[in-house]
Amino acid sequence: MSFFDELALQYIDGEWRPGSGSWDIIDFNPFDGEKLASVTVATAAEVDQAYRAAERAQGAWAETNPYTRRLVFERALRIIEDREQEITEAIIAELGGTRLKAGFELHLAKEFLREAIQLALRPEGRILPSPVDGKENRVYRLPIGVVGVISPFNFPFLLSLKSVAPALALGNAVVLKPHQNTPICGGSLVAKVFEDAGLPAGLLNVVITDIAEIGDALLEHPVPKAISFTGSDKVGRHVATVCAANFKHAILELGGNSALIVLDDADIDYAVDAAVFSRYVHQGQVCMAANRILVDRSVEKEFTEKFVAKVRTLKVGDPADPSTHIGPLINSSQADAVTSLVEQTVGAGATALLHGTADGNLVAPSVLTDLPDDSPVLTQEIFGPVALIIPFDGEDEAVRIANDTPYGLSGAVHTGNIERGVRLAKRVDTGMIHINDGTVHDEPIVPFGGEKHSGVGRLNGDSMLDAFTTQKWISVQHGRSRFPF
């Protein structure tokens, strides 16, 4: 099937239909500018219809035997496996992902679906003692109800599934809004997979729209009890504020400014390989990317020479070409922002060991060093192929530099002494950090999330229970209570 021809629609209450807004979202291939699809936006009224459909369907789904619920996810997994080549081509076309990146995204998507199959059976109740004679305290894990999911453009298929599948597996219904740059891979394709897998109508709804059309309707609507948002910290702050004002639970997976730290006893060749991948995978458009590469001054020269030499070998071009390492950024605004950032940083005194130029949305890699201590680029997220190499003297300075950012998502430490690496890693204020590895990792059963401006809450594994279920206390009095009046 042609996903872009057939899925450029809203999916509400089990029906594929056009939106009723007055304008269209145009879905472009970021590499060659080809128009892939045109989607008439959903209005606030259609957001209401989606949430009301989810509300109607959720009760019966929550009562469905979890062994029956999990069959849907088993079928969804088989559908993705059967259509893997088509989905790969869609990822390459819609978001400019290389074949390597598309394969990585699909591999993780399948792993998260396998975890959702198990998650359906994970909720457990408890019976707790009481100081009152004859009283039995039962604590139940129940679905939270309806969940709103807002997914980003960089890993749209995976990061939509990552919240949608667990929420559904645990007995909830979902309304999904994909990013406007990836409406098919992040939205309607997910709906199509679950529709073909036999998910009952109304449990998953997809609204393709924009804040310019609906304002905060997706967040303020009275039906959803939780909002799972993945995106920038700027938007995440707004989501958190609106959710708090409306007493909704917000799960926020936001940006990063991760540091990959190379100590004086590291395997330099291996650290170079890890750093190059961690910085340039998917053109640097990854929240866990190693924005900053911190290198002990005693090995700085060797590391830098080898790092720059390896970066020079990266091929920039057509993401459909299997030999391409770096494809296009998602749109011209992002390409302009990245190239402007490099120019400003160099103009303020940094040295460009490699100074990448732009050709449309293709931006060649840059490597910057000798950054002034007050350079704004040191503390912000760079969503593009720009590496910062920063020398340090000793572990204390490495920790200080690593923590000198409002973000705290991922990180890595390279050393010949594992326990030394672990001790240092504990001092870095980040939600996740890896010893002798890259910074870009996600696994279905390990808590995923950040500190500071990188987010609130965790996803994956048992953390999904906290995100998408609630606990209910039901007490049973055997015999008669005594009341004081």
Helix (H, G, I), strand (E, B) or coil at 307: helix
H or E segment at 275? helix 268-280
Residue with tokens 């406007």: 180
Is the Cβ–Cβ distance between 354 and 342 less than 8 Å? no
Whole-angstrom distance, CA of residue 169 vs CA of residue 188:
19
Distance CA(227)–CA(220), nearest Å, equals: 10
Q: Which residues contact 108 (CB under 8 A, 6 or more apart)?
A: 155, 158, 442
> CB-based contacts of 110: which residues, under 8 Å, 6+ apart?
77, 80, 81
Residues of each domain in the chain carrying CATH 3.40.309.10? 259-435
Could you tell me the two tokens for 464? Answer: 């999904």
Query: Cα–Cα distance between 199 and 270 in angstroms, integer?
Result: 45
Does residue 375 contact residue 224 with C-beta atoms inside 8 Å? no
Cα separation, 357 vs 3, whole angstroms? 33
DSSP for 201-269, written as a single string: TTSEEE----HHHHTTHHHH-SS-SEEEEES-HHHHHHHHHHHHHTT-EEEEE-----EEEE-TTS-HH
How far is CA 374 from its chain centroid? 30
What pLDDT score does 1 carry? 43
Give the residue numbers marked as catalytic: 253, 287
For the segment 370-393, the average pLDDT, to the nearest whole number, is 96
The helix-helix angle for 395-403 and 418-427 (nearest 10°) equals: 40
The token duo for 351 is 């040295």
Question: Where do the CATH 3.40.605.10 domains begin and end in the chain?
Answer: 3-254+454-473
Mean pLDDT value across residues 165-181: 98
The predicted model gives 165-187 an average pLDDT of 98
Question: Could you give the CA distance from residue 454 to residue 437 in angstroms, rounded to a whole number?
Answer: 21
What would the pLDDT profile of 61-73 be if each residue is shown by its tens digit?
Answer: 999 999 999 999 9
pTM of the model: 0.96
Distances (CA, A) of 466 to 166, 197, 328, 469: 11, 26, 37, 6
Q: In whole angstroms, give the CA distance from residue 35 to residue 29.
A: 6
d(CA 6, CA 18): 11
Say if residue 447 is exposed, middle or buried (CB neighbours under 10 Å; 0-12, 13-18, 19+). middle
- To the nearest whole percent, how much of the chain has pLDDT over 90? 99
> Quick check: 279 and 291 in contact, CB under 8 A?
yes
pLDDT given for residue 2 in this prediction: 81
Whether the Cβ atoms of residue 409 and residue 398 lie closer than 8 Å to each other: no
Give residue 364's identity as a one-letter amino acid code: A
CA distance 27 to 11: 17
Q: Can you tell me the distance from the alpha carbon of 416 to that of 426, in angstroms, rounded to the nearest whole number?
A: 17
Q: Tell me the residue type at 101.
A: K
Q: Is the pLDDT of residue 112 over 80?
A: yes
**Do residues 257 and 291 touch, judged by C-beta distance below 8 A?**
yes
pLDDT of residue 343: 96
Give the pLDDT confidence of 425-461 residue by residue, as tens digits.
Answer: 999 999 999 999 999 999 999 999 999 999 999 999 9
pLDDT band at 470 (very low <50, low <70, confident <90, very high): very high
For residues 324, 330, 331, 337, the Cα torsion angle rounded to the nearest 10 degrees is: -90
| CA dist., res. 156 & res. 106, Å (int) | 11
Length of the chain: 485
Contact 411, 426 (CB under 8 A): no
Within a 10 A sphere around the Cβ of 365, how many other Cβ atoms?
A: 23
The two three-digit tokens of residue 219, written as one number: 């967040």
Return the SS3 of 257: coil
Mean pLDDT of 463-484: 95
Would you state the structure tokens that stand for residue 448, as one six-digit string? 């995923």
Token digits for 473? 């206390």
Of residues 241, 251, 240, 246, the one with CA closest to residue 220: 246
pLDDT band at residue 394 under the 50/70/90 scheme = very high
How much is the mean pLDDT over the chain? 97
Phi and psi at 287, nearest 5°, equal -60, -25
* Residue 448 DSSP label: B
- Work out the average pLDDT over 455-480: 96
Amino acid, res. 115:
E
For 259-435, CATH gives: 3.40.309.10
3-254+454-473 CATH, one of 3.40.30.10, 3.40.50.620, 3.30.70.100, 3.40.605.10? 3.40.605.10
For the chain, helix, strand, coil in percent to 5 are 40, 20, 40
